[in-house]
Structure 1
Amino acid sequence: MSTIGPFNTVKVEVQDGIALITMNRPEKLNALNAMLQDELARAFEQVGAEQSVRAIILTGAGRAFCAGIDLAQAGESLSRGGASGDRLLRLITAMSSTPQPVIAAINGYAVTGGFEAAMACDILVASREARFADTHGMVGVMPGWGLSQKLARIVGQPRAMAISLTGEYIDAQTAYDWGLISHLVEPAELLPTARRLAGMIRDADPGIIAEIKAVIRNGGLATLGEGLRMERDAHARFMEHYDPQEAQARRAKVMQRARTQA
C-alpha cells in the first residue's frame, strides 16, 4: 500500500480492507478550515486510489461529526473563486468520486456543510446523539454541495423547506423516521455498526459494488427510463468479465452468512 498522509487534522486508519477517516478538530467541532478541507480531500484521493481498500468510513472526533465551514475563515473560504473555491471543489470531487462505498458514521452535530458532507456519503449511520441542521440561510451562504437538491429528493419538498428555511435542528430519531439515515444506533454501537456494514461490502465483488453505487447515484438524477438504461449498460459491462467459478464461490459465502445470521 502506498503512503497515506501525513495529516494534522485528519486521521486515517486502514485495516482489513476498510479505511476509517476521522475529521480531527474536536475543539472546533471539526469545522472545515482550509487545512481540514485540503487534508480531507487528499485523504479521500489517496484512499480511493488504493485497490486494497474496499470500503471507507467517515466520522468525526469528539462530540461533532462536522460543524460545516469554519466561520472564522468564512470570508475567505466561502468566496466564489480563487484558492478557496478550488479547495472546496477538490474536496467535493474527492468525496463523490471514490469507487468504494463511503459510510458516514455520524457521531454528533452535522450542521450545514457538515450536513452536506454526510449526505455526500453512500450509507448514513447515526448515533442517537446525532443532530442535523441546515443553517445556510442563517449565516447568509448558498449551499454548494447539492443540499438544496438532495434533501427534497429524500425527505420531500415540505420537510426540506422546513429544514432549510428555518435552520431548526432535527434529532437522530426524526432523521431516521424521515429516511435521512439508514441506521440509528446507540453511541457505543456507532463504529461497530459502520465496521460491520463495511465488512459486508468488503467481502462482495468490488467491481460490481462500484457499478451498483454508480448506477444508484446517477440514476437518482435521471428519469426511470434513463436509469434503467444505465443499469442495462452496467450489466453488459459486467457480463464481459463474468467468471462463473468466482460467482459460485461468492454465492457460497453469502449462503453461509445467511445461515449464520438466521
Structure 2
Amino acid sequence: MLLVDIKDQVALVTLNRPDAMNALSRALRAELHKTLKRLDADPAVKVIVLTGAGERAFTAGLDLKELGSDPNGLRAANATEPSENPAWAVIACRKPVIGAINGVAITGGFEVALACDVLIASTNARFADTHARVGITPGWGLSQKLSRLIGPYRAKELSLSGNFLDARTAEAWGLVNRVVAPEDLVPAALKLAADMATIDVEMLVTYKGMIDDGYETTLRQGLELEQARSTAHNRQVTPEAVEARRAGIQARGRTQ
C-alpha cells in the first residue's frame, strides 16, 4: 500500500491504493508514519517526494468505508499521534517533503498536501475541503493552515462551500508552486528534489526549521529567531568553507 524508491539521495514515496483513491486507512496511516520516520533518520536520503498512485487521486482522505464499520473510527479525525495523523507525520519529518499532487486531494488528503513543504500539481489535481458537507470539523490542521496560505476569504469560500479548486486556480492563489502536465509531474518533483539534494542535509534541516518555526510567530519574533539561530550557526562556518562553496555556486550558475 506504500511504495518507496530511493535514488541519488531522494526518496519517492507513493500512496498505493489507487482502487480506493489512495484513501488513508488505519494501516496506511501507520505505514506512512513508520516510513517517513525511517527516511528522516536515513543518512542516504536528503529529500522526500510524496505522491499518489494513478491519476485520479493524491488521496481522498480517511477511508470512509473503514470508518463506517468502526464505531470509534472518527477519532482518527482528531488524532494527534503521527501514526494516526498523517499530516503530523509529514510535518514531523525534518527533511524537505515535496508533494507531487497527481489527482484529487480531498478533506484529509487536502490536509496532508498542506503539510508538505512544496507542492507541484498535475493539471489533473483538484483540492476540496468537504468537512462541512460530511458534518465533521477538521482536526489535522486545515482550518488554520489554509487561511494562512491563501487568506481567510478564499479559505472560507472553499471550506464553507465544499467546492473543488482546480490546479490552475490553486496556482494563481499561491496554494501550489506550479502546475505541470500529468506525465511531467513526478519528473518535475524529482528534479527539484535533486536540486535540493545537492545541499548539505544539515543545512536543509536547519533552514527548513527556521522558516517553519518563524512562520508560526509574529514577524518580530521570527526576526529574533532568525538572528539567534543564524548567529549560532554562522559562528561555526569558516571562511575556507564559504570560499569552497562559492566556487560551486558560480559553476552551477553558468550551467543554469
TM class by smaller structure: over 0.9
User: Which residue of structure 2 aligns with residue 229 of structure 1?
Assistant: 224
Deviation (angstroms), 1:85: 6.3
Task: Tell me the secondary structure at the aligned position of residue 58 of structure 1.
Answer: strand
Task: Tell me the secondary structure at the aligned position of residue 78 of structure 1.
Answer: helix
- State how far apart, in whole Å, the 2-side matches of 1:92 and 1:109 are: 16
CA contact (8 A) 1:208 1:238 kept: no
What is the Cα-based RMSD across aligned positions, in Å? 1.8
CA contact (8 A) 2:102 2:121 kept: yes
User: Which residue of structure 2 aligns with residue 19 of structure 1?
Assistant: 11
Deviation (angstroms), 1:255: 1.7
Q: 38, 43, 46: which is aligned to 1:51?
A: 43
Rate the CA distance shift 1:248–1:210 in 2: closer, same or farther, 3 A: same
Instruction: Note if 1:102 corresponds to 2:94.
Output: no
- State how far apart, in whole Å, the 2-side matches of 1:163 and 1:116 are: 13
Instruction: Note if 1:76 corresponds to 2:68.
Output: no
Per-residue CA deviations over 1:90-114 (Å, capped at 9, x if unaligned) read 5343311222100000000111011
TM-score (norm 2): 0.93
Instruction: Decide which moves more: 161-170 or 45-54.
Output: 45-54
Aligned residue runs from structure 1 range 179-218, under 5 A:
179-218=174-213
Instruction: Note if 1:260 corresponds to 2:255.
Output: yes
Per-residue CA deviations over 1:113-137 (Å, capped at 9, x if unaligned) read 1110011000000011101000011
Amino acid at match of 1:33: S
Deviation (angstroms), 1:243: 3.5
Instruction: Decide which moves more: 93-102 or 154-163.
Output: 93-102
Task: Tell me the secondary structure at the aligned position of residue 22 of structure 1.
Answer: strand
TM-score (norm 1): 0.91
Instruction: Decide which moves more: 239-248 or 47-56.
Output: 239-248
Gap regions ≥5 residues in structure 1: 1-8
Deviation (angstroms), 1:232: 1.1
- State how far apart, in whole Å, the 1-side matches of 2:151 and 2:213 are: 19
Gap regions ≥5 residues in structure 2: none
CA contact (8 A) 1:69 1:77 kept: no
User: Which residue of structure 1 aligns with residue 59 of structure 2?
Assistant: 66
User: Which residue of structure 2 aligns with residue 245 of structure 1?
Assistant: 240
Rate the CA distance shift 1:154–1:242 in 2: closer, same or farther, 3 A: same
- State how far apart, in whole Å, the 1-side matches of 2:151 and 2:88 are: 26
Task: Tell me the secondary structure at the aligned position of residue 180 of structure 1.
Answer: coil
Per-residue CA deviations over 1:182-239 (Å, capped at 9, x if unaligned) read 1211111111111111111111132222122112112211101110111112212212
- State how far apart, in whole Å, the 1-side matches of 2:167 and 2:176 are: 8
Deviation (angstroms), 1:80: 6.2
| Count of paired positions | 252
Per-residue CA deviations over 1:157-189 (Å, capped at 9, x if unaligned) read 111001001100010000000000012111111
Rate the CA distance shift 1:167–1:113 in 2: closer, same or farther, 3 A: same
Task: Tell me the secondary structure at the aligned position of residue 167 of structure 1.
Answer: coil
Task: Tell me the secondary structure at the aligned position of residue 21 of structure 1.
Answer: strand
- State how far apart, in whole Å, the 2-side matches of 1:61 and 1:23 are: 6
Rate the CA distance shift 1:92–1:151 in 2: closer, same or farther, 3 A: closer
Deviating beyond 4 angstroms after TM superposition, the runs of 4 or more aligned structure 1 residues are: 84-90
Q: 104, 112, 122: which is aligned to 2:107?
A: 112
Deviation (angstroms), 1:88: 5.2
Deviation (angstroms), 1:251: 2.2
CA contact (8 A) 2:85 2:140 kept: no
CA contact (8 A) 1:21 1:56 kept: yes
Rate the CA distance shift 1:54–1:167 in 2: closer, same or farther, 3 A: same
